A and B are shown apart, each in its own frame.
Chain A
Amino acid sequence: MTNQSITQKLANPTRFMSLSGAILPWLAGLAVAVIVFGLYRGWTAPPDYQQGETIRIMYIHVPAAWLAMLGYALVAISSFGLLVFRHPLADVSAKAAAPIGAAFTLLALVTGSLWGKPMWGTYWVWDARLTSVLMLFFLYLGLMALRSSIEEETLAAKLTAVLALVGVIILPFIKISVEGLSVPWLGLEIPAWNTLHQPSSVFRSDGPKIHASQLYPLLYCALGFTLLFFALHMKGMRNEILRRRVKALRIAEVDRARAAEAAAPAE
């Protein structure tokens, strides 16, 4: 027992339920507190000299975009855990993470588009980064659609995991083909897809230059939303475990009733 790793100890759903039940209220409370503090700091931060008040969209947009990627990483790691280690909670984790990641991806797209209207004059441009995030959103939709269209749950779990891992392999290629890639020390230079149509004037190549008065609120918001992500993920996992227990109880009840029915005429 003492040689068990943390993941092995958590493999027991009952132990996970009691542990997560103790942690979740604190995690959720902390997430709310940090988000409120971060948004307050973002609200009181000075407006950008160029972008004006629209800079405040960034305090939600950037954490959402970061969590969109973290969400997929979590789905992929959980899928790997299911297929390779057959960890009993891996599928619960993958199933819970997908809709949360998809929601943050959508949030990143929507906030980006709201920011794009005043800054670029349009809600949507086929900019390289927007396009690759949109493709990530499609991959999330594919994962959820595949899971919901297969009736047998263990089968759906494993097939969705295969798709998630295929997505991990192909996602970098989608990203590179759309956003380009530059590795100076290898002499590798793949141009971005949209440079044929419009030169990038917004994303500067010399890296994001951001003043400390805007950077700290952003970091607080990123931390807060990350805590929120994990709180939601934990809640989602708990709900999924409970749902499975209810289902198992229902099936047991039906079996019991059937057995009683079969035994009745013999009496």
Chain B
Amino acid sequence: MAMSPFFTLLRRDITLALREGGAIGTALGFYLIVIAMLPLGLGPDLNLLSRIAPGLLWIALLLSALLSLGRMFETDHEDGSLELLAIGGTPLELVAAAKALAHWLTTGIPLALLAPLLGILLNLDLSAYGVLVLTMLVGTPAISFLGAIGAALTLRARRGGLLLALLILPLYVPTLIYGIQAISGALLAGQSFWPSFLILAALSLGSLVLGPLAAAAALRIQLQ
């Protein structure tokens, strides 16, 4: 059965992420640990935790997703398969898009689905669970696709992992702000959910275009 190179690559990357173990587990474990540490640092006041829970869950999710971003092109670069992909018939933009999509499917979605469970630890309001998962599912593609730019840029850099965080976190500011705004818009009276939510979706769609283009440009420069 012939599959397009895009889906072949996507399936390969998902299979690798699942079988390699560690990758998904580490991100989820990191998410759990960070959220569990926060009440220890902030104090066990449940009212306070409940109020700031959406923000904490979003920020911890960003950090957890960053952990596995650095691996997006690294292993393929080390064993030379990235160069084969570059000289193959598939445009490098599609290769980058497939890898970013695989990252979202294996990191963004699991983290977003774990978030409500961790919300229990922070006394998150029950009515917020649905909105929280919805905004995270819609917002996390931006994390993977903008992250692909950072992963491509730092491929041959020294201390790539830390550098990646420095480069990419400022780019996540709009996603973070509108993700939180959509949640508070849905919970608080007198504020609206849809405008922020739609901007959040637009940011993800925009990053779907920008991410692969910029990542492929960065990869091409390094593979010459």
A contact residues vs B (CB 8 Å cutoff): 83, 135, 138-139, 141-142, 145-146, 149-152, 155, 158-159, 162-163, 165-167, 169-170, 173-174, 176-178, 190, 193, 196
Contacts and interface: CB of A to CB of B under 8 A. Distances in A.
- Measured as residues with beta carbon below 8 angstroms from the partner, the interface class of chain B is 20 to 34
A166 B177 contact: no
B interface, over-half SS = helix
Given A152-B156, A170-B146, 13 more contacts: A138-B166, A138-B170, A139-B170, A145-B167, A146-B154, A150-B158, A151-B158, A155-B222, A162-B153, A162-B214, A174-B171, A190-B195, A193-B181
A106 to B, nearest CB: 15
Nearest to B173: A174
B118 interface: no
B167 A150 contact: no
B157 A174 contact: no
B177 A178 contact: yes
Interface string B145-178: 0100100011011111001001101110110011
Nearest to B176: A177
A interface, over-half SS = helix
A135 B156 contact: no
A163 B222 contact: no
A139 to B, nearest CB: 6
Nearest to B184: A196
Interface in B175-223: 177-178, 181, 184, 195, 199, 203, 206, 210, 214, 217-218, 221-222
Contacts of B157: 146, 149-150
Contacts of A150: 156-158
Contacts of B163: 145-146, 149
A145 B214 contact: no
A139 B166 CA distance: 8
A163 B153 contact: yes
B171 A170 contact: yes
Contacts of A167: 171
B166 A177 contact: no
